[in-house]
């Protein structure tokens, strides 16, 4: 069976060690996403349905989150299957030490930092300062921290400008085009 991580010219996209490490990370991630998808689905099903939407179930407020939960479960099953195939074909299975290595990896640390930024944005910034300012701070933090290029004054100015433009465009799109009230 051909490995799905190989590029078209037949060369491996990375070493076997990187392939196995990625498959282990995908294996763990698939289980977390599966549980989260189930949670989203069951919570959306519990949402109250307004009386005018009872006969049109697809207009209820829980329809879209339920759909997203189902899609998350479906894609996590695909990720689980793919990672399991890679681990099985290399006679490598998930052990406690390899799970700890995945948790201690740089990728997991970056994911944790991104999650911390998101939590700070939602629970600290939004509602306490203006929406555009909160979004600007959130975008700037992400751009500055996750931009892998060298840090120069010109680059920082470009990052600030990008964060400002994105914050304003998001606010205008939601408020004016989508007529969605902003916090």
User: Are residues 177 and 165 in contact, defined by beta-carbon separation less than 8 angstroms?
Assistant: no
Say whether pTM exceeds 0.85. no
Other C-beta atoms within 10 Å of 138: how many? 20
C-alpha 103/C-alpha 24 separation (Å) is 10
Q: What are the tens digits of pLDDT across the range 54-100? A: 666 666 777 888 899 999 999 999 999 998 888 888 777 666 776 67
Tell me, what DSSP letter sits at residue 46?
Answer: T
Task: With a cut of 70, list the residues of the chain below it in pLDDT.
Answer: 1-15, 52-59, 93-95, 98-99, 102
> Which residues are within 8 A (CB) of 180 and not within 5 positions of it... i.e. 6 or more apart?
174
Cα dihedral 27/29/31/33 (nearest 10): -150
């Amino acid at each position: 069976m051909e490995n799905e991580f190989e590029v078209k010219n037949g060369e491996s996209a990375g070493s076997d060690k990187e392939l196995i490490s990625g498959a282990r990370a995908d294996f763990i991630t698939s289980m977390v996403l599966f549980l989260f998808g189930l949670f989203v689905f069951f919570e959306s099903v519990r949402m109250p349905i307004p009386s005018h939407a009872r006969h049109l179930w697809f207009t209820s407020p829980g329809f879209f989150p339920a759909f997203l939960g189902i899609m998350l479960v479906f894609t996590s099953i695909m990720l689980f299957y793919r990672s399991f195939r890679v681990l099985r074909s290399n006679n490598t299975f998930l052990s406690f030490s390899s799970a700890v290595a995945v948790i201690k990896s740089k990728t997991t640390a970056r994911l944790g930092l991104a999650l911390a930024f998101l939590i700070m944005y939602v629970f600290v910034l939004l509602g306490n300062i203006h929406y555009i300012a909160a979004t600007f701070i959130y975008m700037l933090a992400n751009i500055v921290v996750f931009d892998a290029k060298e840090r120069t004054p010109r680059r920082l100015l470009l990052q600030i400008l990008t964060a400002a433009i994105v914050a304003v465009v998001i606010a205008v799109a939601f408020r004016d085009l989508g007529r969605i009230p902003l916090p």
